[in-house]
C-alpha cells in the first residue's frame, strides 16, 4: 500500500494512527499542502477534491476520505478492530468520529481557512476567533458525549477505536492553534493516554518524512 499524506493534516493523521494500531506498513508520499501540491493535476487524478489522505492499494485501486479508508482497513485487516460489532456500541464510536470529522474539522481545514483569508479578506485575528469558536462548540459536544457514554482510558473502553483515531489529531491541532482546552477534562484524559502509546507516537506529525519545522 501507498499513503499520500501531509504531516500536519489531521485527516492523514487519523489514517496513520489506524495503520500503526493495526501494525500495517504503507509507502509514504508527502503532499505539501502549504505549497499547493494537492492542487496539481497528478494529485487530482488520485483525489478529485485535491486532498489528503489517499490510500493506493497494491493493485492500483485508490481510496480517499479518511473514514472510508479506515473502514476499508478495518474490513481488510481485522486485527486490532477499530469499529465494534455490537450495533449500539458501533454507533457510539461513529457518533464521536463523525462529530469530529463532519462538524469540527470541515470548518477549520486548510481550504476553508484559506478562503476566509484570501477571498473574504478575513484578518488573522478574526480567523483565529473563527477557529477557536468552532473548536469550542465541537469539543463541548464531544466532552458531553464522552461523559455520558465513554469509559476507560480510551473513548470507549480499554482498546482504541475509530473515535480515538479522530480525537487525537483534532486535539493536537487545537493545541497547536492555542485553543483553551481545560474545559474538556475527559477529552484531554483520552488524548493524554493515547499520546503515551507507541502506535500513536509513530503516527505523530513530527515523526513523518515530510515534517516541516
Cα separation, 94 vs 83, whole angstroms = 8
Q: What are 1's three cell numbers? A: 500500500
Assigned C-alpha cell, 163: 473515535
Dihedral angle, C-alpha 42, 47, 51, 53, nearest 10 °: -110
pLDDT at 212: 84
Map out the domains of the chain as residue ranges. 2-80, 87-199
pLDDT tens string 161-177: 999 999 999 999 999 99
- Name the phi and psi angles at 13, rounded to 5: -60, -40
Which DSSP string corresponds to 141-156? HHHHHHHHH-BSSBTB
pLDDT of residue 198: 98
> Please, what CATH class does the domain formed by 87-199 belong to?
mainly alpha
Report the distance separating Cα 28 and Cα 70, nearest Å: 16
CA dist 178 and 195 (Å) reads 18
| 103-131 confidence digits (pLDDT tens) | 999 998 888 888 888 899 999 999 899 99
For domain 2-80, give the CATH number: 3.40.30.10
2-80 and 87-199 agree in CATH topology: no
| pLDDT tens, residue by residue, 6-30 | 999 999 999 999 999 999 999 999 9
- The confidence score (pLDDT) of residue 213 equals 67
- The CA distance from 157 to 147, in Å, is 13
Q: How far does Cα 39 stand from its chain's mean position? A: 20
Amino acid at each position: 500500500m501507498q499513503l499520500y499524506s501531509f504531516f500536519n493534516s489531521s485527516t492523514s493523521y487519523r489514517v496513520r494512527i489506524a495503520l500503526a494500531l493495526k501494525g500495517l506498513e504503507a509507502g509514504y508520499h508527502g503532499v505539501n499542502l502549504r505549497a499547493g501540491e494537492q492542487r496539481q493535476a497528478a494529485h487530482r487524478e488520485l483525489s478529485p477534491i485535491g486532498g489528503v489522505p489517499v490510500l493506493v492499494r497494491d493493485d492500483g485501486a485508490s481510496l480517499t476520505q479518511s473514514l472510508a479508508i479506515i473502514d476499508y482497513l478495518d474490513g481488510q485487516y481485522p486485527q486490532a478492530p477499530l469499529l465494534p460489532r455490537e450495533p449500539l456500541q458501533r454507533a457510539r464510536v461513529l457518533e464521536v468520529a463523525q462529530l469530529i470529522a463532519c462538524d469540527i474539522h470541515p470548518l477549520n481545514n486548510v481550504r476553508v481557512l484559506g478562503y476566509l483569508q484570501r477571498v473574504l479578506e478575513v484578518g488573522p485575528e478574526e480567523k483565529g476567533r473563527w477557529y477557536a469558536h468552532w473548536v469550542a462548540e465541537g469539543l463541548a459536544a464531544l466532552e458531553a458525549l464522552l461523559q455520558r457514554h465513554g469509559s476507560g482510558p480510551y473513548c470507549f473502553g480499554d482498546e482504541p477505536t475509530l473515535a480515538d483515531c479522530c480525537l487525537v489529531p483534532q486535539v493536537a491541532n487545537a493545541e497547536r492553534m492555542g485553543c483553551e482546552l481545560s474545559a474538556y477534562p475527559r477529552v484531554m484524559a483520552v488524548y493524554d493516554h493515547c499520546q503515551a502509546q507507541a502506535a500513536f507516537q509513530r503516527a505523530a506529525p513530527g515523526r513523518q518524512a515530510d515534517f516541516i519545522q
